[in-house]
Amino acid sequence: MIRRAGIALGSNLGDRMALLGKAVSGLREIAVPGEPVLQAPVYLTPPLDCPAGSPDFFNTVVEIAWSGTPLELLHETRRIENLLGRERGHDRNAPRTVDLDLLYCGELVMSSADLTLPHPRLAERRFVLQPLADIRPDLILPGATRPIRELLQSLSPGTTLVPIGYAGE
């Protein structure tokens, strides 16, 4: 069965745009061939809950068609992170070359030690909702009642995110 899967991408170390471009290429390689890949603009965003002095992030969202299980997709996203120099074992939210977070996988709802779908903090994060609203404004996540665009509008006023381009350009 083919499902649409949303993946949030972030980077705040190294050549952030180039790293995101390589991550997007990696996601295109694992996507179901012939199915559309949706890619949001990249946004410059301040670090959230990160150690003091952490660099700003470049963030985007990509949606691919996926025919495996969510845990298989998680494995693939971690493989892409590792290829791009992601180091694990540091403090939570420490600066990183690339971070890929699975946001949703079709209509699946799951909670395990490794993965919770839909992503439990998705609706609280402007740096995820804004790019997701760019590509899927009418998407209603499993268990939700409002589309992504309304979730974005319901966030308290804060930093306005400005797109800075597309990864891979």
Give the strand pairing for 42-45 and 163-165: antiparallel
pLDDT digit string, tens, across residues 66-81: 999 999 999 999 999 9
**Dist. CA 169–CA 6, nearest whole Å:** 21
149 annotated active-site: no
pTM for this entry: 0.93
pLDDT digit string, tens, across residues 43-63: 999 887 777 888 899 999 999
pLDDT score, position 69: 96
CATH topology of domain 3-165: Alpha-Beta Plaits (3.30.70)
3-state secondary structure of 13: coil
Neighbours of 46 (CB within 10 A): 14
**Dist. CA 124–CA 166, nearest whole Å:** 23
3-state secondary structure of 124: helix
> What is the 3-class SS of 39-52, one letter each residue?
ECCEEEECCCCCCC
Q: Give the chain's largest Cα–Cα span.
A: 44
79 annotated active-site: no
pLDDT score, position 38: 97
Q: What is the CA radius of gyration of the chain?
A: 15
| Annotated catalytic residue, options 3, 86, 125, 136 | 86
pLDDT score, position 82: 92
* DSSP character string of 7-27: EEEEE-SSSHHHHHHHHHHHH
Domain boundaries, the chain: 3-165
| Annotated catalytic residue, options 16, 96, 126, 136 | 96
8-state DSSP, 26: H
Higher-pLDDT residue of 117 and 94 is 117
Contact of 59 with 163, CB cutoff 8 Å: no
99 annotated active-site: yes
| Annotated catalytic residue, options 3, 4, 99, 134 | 99
| Annotated catalytic residue, options 4, 16, 101, 136 | 101
Mean pLDDT, range 120-143, rounded to an integer: 95
96 annotated active-site: yes
